[in-house]
Amino acid sequence: MSRQRVVVAMSGGVDSAVAAARAVDAGHDVTGVHLALSRNPGTYRSGSRGCCTIEDANDARRAADVLGIPFYVWDLSARFHDDVVEDFKGEYLAGRTPNPCLRCNEKIKFAAMLDRALGLGFDALATGHYATLREAPDGSVELHRAVDHGKDQSYVLGVLTQEQLRHALFPLGDTPKPEVRREAAERGLLVADKPDSHDICFVADGDTGGWLKDKLGAGSGTFVDHASGEVLGTHDGSFAFTVGQRRGLRIDRPAPDGRPRYVLSIEPVSQTVTVGPREELTVDRLEGIRPRWCGNAPEEPLEGTVQLRAHGEEHRARVSVVGEQVTVELHDPARGIAPGQSAVVYDGTRVVGSCTIASTARVCVGSTAP
């Protein structure tokens, strides 16, 4: 690979620090950049749980010093607030369940950040994501799963376009996570043992329902039984719930058969939360909108797999595309899939693209999910 001018997104964690080190070892002209995503870092995350704190910025700077590369902080807090945080609130208000990590990659890291980097004369953006890139026979760039499938992050990169992939580097995709930590320690990087970030980076304590209630205010709605239509209780806002949820419903009246109830659907206008038995969560057909293709959109129905959650299993599926509409027929039914989630399409290990789930259905009534 020829020498390139590379910006590395340095979150302050071990993965991005080692990604930067490997970019240096590859002979690139490397600059580290930490993204300031909140004007008041304390309002998003604290400690080692996220990537939006002053502590994280300092950890990134120290790693850059060890590597001997220039380091800058870019303030993208306004874009992050508008494109990720406000989008997150709006999706919950609409009764959908968004994935802010995909939105951040789509709108912030590989749009706002990459655009700025290219405008400044850089050739590529490197991150610590666990995924791999391959050159296809036609010269295009393919996105594939990481070698370490347990750490694979190709799902949250399924929003990237071919042009963005041409300017991306993922130096960790061929390495298991324990080896990355050992390498960091050998290089003298103090973040070698820093815990991984998790949950949603801008929700201060991991309590999404409480965060939404604080930002959106208390609402008023009812729990309704799926089979009988009977009102079972009230709640303070439908945005605090998601399809598939079991805990925290606080319905005093038990189900007639004594089995747990789950959230089956959410109607945001009336704030009606419909609940019922677990088997009613099973779906085998998805309708998707807003597709994002890593290359060309499939011209014929694709027999591949889809992943419906960041750490979820793959489901064998037939994917058909007509314009901006994507239909996914699940050969392996799934449970608890909510509108707003992302369906990422795979052909083997290759990421074909993604779409936002608009609706779900159970076509084969006898189908079951694991």
pLDDT at 283 over 90: yes
Per residue in 193-225, pLDDT (tens digit) is 998 876 678 886 777 878 888 888 878 899 999
Per residue in 248-261, pLDDT (tens digit) is 898 988 888 889 99
What does DSSP assign to residue 227? Answer: T
Q: Is 104 a catalytic residue?
A: yes
| Helix segments in the chain, DSSP class H | 14-25, 54-67, 77-80, 86-93, 100-104, 114-119, 162-165, 177-186, 208-216
Query: In whole angstroms, how far apart are CA 9 and each of 13, 204, 230?
Result: 10, 22, 52
Q: What is the mean pLDDT of residues 170-198?
A: 94
Q: What is the mean pLDDT of residues 333-348?
A: 96
Which one of the listed residues 51, 52, 101, 104 is annotated catalytic?
104
pLDDT at 47 over 60: no
Q: Please, what are the domains in the chain? A: 5-193 (3.40.50.620), 218-276 (2.30.30.280), 282-361 (2.40.30.10)
Neighbours of 258 (CB within 10 A): 6
Q: Is 52 a catalytic residue?
A: no
Which one of the listed residues 51, 52, 101, 201 is annotated catalytic?
201
pLDDT at 262 over 50: yes
At 215, is the secondary structure helix, strand, or coil? helix
Question: 46: pLDDT confidence band, cut at 50, 70 and 90?
Answer: very low
Burial class of 140 by CB neighbour count within 10 A (0 to 12, 13 to 18, 19+): middle
